[in-house]
């Protein structure tokens, strides 16, 4: 009798797994390579009419990865959470989201590039963070690029009552100026099935602005791949984007790229903030990716991401710099500043820059 019960439980679990895979495959989000994105709110300022601009980039971690959180998937856990957080309590998510809103409001840049912004996800208790941030800047134009649309994420597999569940998230841009066109580019490189069903569909948003001198400013909001330990997918993505950037510059336009690169800038020591840590492979962007007159802009004194395999411990938790900007040669960086929040609201920290158009 006991064996029959075990067999029945095993078959029931197997049916659950098969059902989840069939359901996820059927609902798998497969966007086209290029999608024109319509703004949620159109700015009335039709062109960039000044010579300097302020920009901000920040991965807000969907309100779920503040200082008091660890994350089970960061440890490569798929079957069991091992006591690590799958999602924090709702009170923590609300605290983190409120902190993100307060921080962004306190740094009202001309162009704001955000990543891991939820529209409706179980992990963030279905708070529409994209809308909430947009309400802070009623005169700004806002656009959203879906990069995480999962009907049901079953991990950790052996804890179905705590499964990650539904997720709808992406990258969001808020601008003082009206765009002439915004395009979502699907980035190349996929994980094998079935992992790809439950991971992000990485993308970049390309925003085009008129400038008073007749040129165009092209701004990219990027969130490149994570979890590819050999770096192959990240290299595919940066090579793909590189061709877009070089073509725009060759056409006489200004180009700014900002976001969460999931790699360290060329030549910057990945272990700068923790010099006794063993070297990590594939940590840096290839130093020959871009011509030497393009500029990687960041604040070398402030880490922008921390290890989520543990709750944050100031001065102990491993941190590095993976959020920054890239500027074409016809732009000049006047200032770069990391905003040190002690990772209170996200596992990332914001970076702001001021640039001049030559």
236 or 209, which is more confident? 209
Mean pLDDT (whole number) for 244-248? 98
Q: Which two tokens stand for residue 111?
A: 């162009």
Strand partners, 320: 305
Residue 24 confidence (pLDDT) above 60: no
Indicate if the pLDDT at residue 63 is higher than 90.
Answer: yes
Closest residue by Cα to residue 171 from 227, 105, 219: 219
What pTM, to 2 d.p., does this model score? 0.93
Distance between CA atoms of residues 142 and 176, nearest Å:
9
- The residue with greater pLDDT, 301 or 83, is 301
Contact of 302 with 349, CB cutoff 8 Å: yes
- The whole-angstrom separation of Cα 65 and Cα 73 is 12
- Backbone phi, then psi, for 294, in 5-degree steps? -80, 150
> What's residue 22's pLDDT?
63
- Paired residues of 113 in beta bridges: 57, 173
Percent of the chain with pLDDT over 90: 69
Q: Is 356 helix (H, G, I), strand (E, B) or coil?
A: strand
Domain borders along the chain are 1-30, 32-357
Return the ∠ at Cα 242 (arms to 239 and 245), rounded to 5°. 165
CATH 3.40.50.720, applies to 32-357: no
Residue 41 scores a pLDDT above 90? no
CA distance 64 to 96: 7
Pick 229 or 340 by higher pLDDT.
340
Do 329 and 87 touch, CB atoms closer than 8 A?
Answer: no
Pair of tokens at residue 345: 């609201």
pLDDT the model gives residue 189:
72
Element (H or E) spanning 12, and its range? helix 2-26
CA 179 to chain centre: 21
DSSP per residue, 310-335: S---TTTS-EE--EEEEE-TTEEEEE
Lowest mean pLDDT among 134-143, 187-196, 260-269: 187-196
Does the pLDDT at position 50 exceed 80? yes
- Look at residue 135 and tell me whether its pLDDT is greater than 70: yes
Compute the C-alpha angle 226/158/146, nearest 5°.
Answer: 35
Q: Is the pLDDT of residue 200 over 80?
A: no
Residue 8's pLDDT band (cuts 50, 70, 90): low
Q: What is the DSSP annotation of 138-174?
A: TTSEEEEEEEEEEEEE--STT-GGG--EEEEEEEEEE
State pLDDT tens for residues 278-322: 877 768 999 999 999 999 999 999 999 999 999 999 999 999 999
């Amino acid at each position: 009798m006991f064996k029959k019960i075990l067999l029945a439980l095993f078959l029931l679990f197997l049916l659950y797994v098969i059902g989840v895979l069939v359901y996820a495959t059927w609902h798998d989000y497969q966007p086209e390579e290029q999608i024109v994105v319509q703004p949620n709110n159109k700015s009335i300022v039709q062109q960039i009419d000044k010579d300097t601009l302020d920009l901000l980039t920040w991965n807000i971690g969907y309100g779920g990865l503040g200082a008091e959180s660890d994350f089970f998937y960061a440890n490569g856990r798929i079957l069991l959470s091992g006591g690590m957080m799958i999602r924090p309590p709702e009170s923590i998510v609300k605290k983190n989201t409120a902190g993100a809103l307060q921080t962004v409001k306190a740094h009202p840049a001309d162009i704001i590039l955000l990543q891991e912004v939820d529209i409706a996800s179980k992990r963030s208790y279905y708070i529409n963070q994209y809308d909430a941030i947009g309400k802070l800047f009623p005169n700004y134009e806002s656009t959203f690029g879906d990069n995480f649309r999962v009907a049901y994420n079953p991990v950790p597999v052996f804890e179905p009552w705590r499964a990650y569940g539904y997720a709808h998230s992406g990258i969001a841009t808020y601008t003082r100026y009206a765009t002439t066109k915004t395009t979502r580019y699907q980035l190349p490189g996929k994980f094998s099935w079935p992992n790809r069903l439950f991971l992000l569909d990485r993308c970049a948003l390309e925003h085009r602005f008129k400038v008073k001198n007749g040129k165009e400013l092209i701004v990219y909001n990027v969130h490149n791949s994570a979890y590819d330990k050999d770096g192959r997918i990240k290299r595919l993505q940066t090579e793909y984007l590189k061709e877009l950037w070089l073509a725009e510059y060759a056409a006489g336009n200004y180009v700014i790229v900002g976001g969460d690169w999931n790699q360290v800038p060329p030549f910057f020591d990945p272990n700068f903030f923790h010099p006794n840590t063993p070297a990590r492979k594939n940590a840096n962007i290839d130093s020959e990716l871009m011509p030497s007159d393009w500029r990687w802009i960041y604040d070398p004194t402030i880490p922008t991401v921390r290890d989520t395999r543990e709750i944050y411990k100031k001065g102990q938790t491993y941190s590095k710099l993976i959020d920054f900007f890239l500027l074409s040669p016809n732009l000049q960086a006047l200032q770069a500043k990391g905003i040190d929040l002690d990772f209170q609201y996200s596992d990332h920290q914001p970076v702001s820059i001021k640039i001049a158009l030559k």
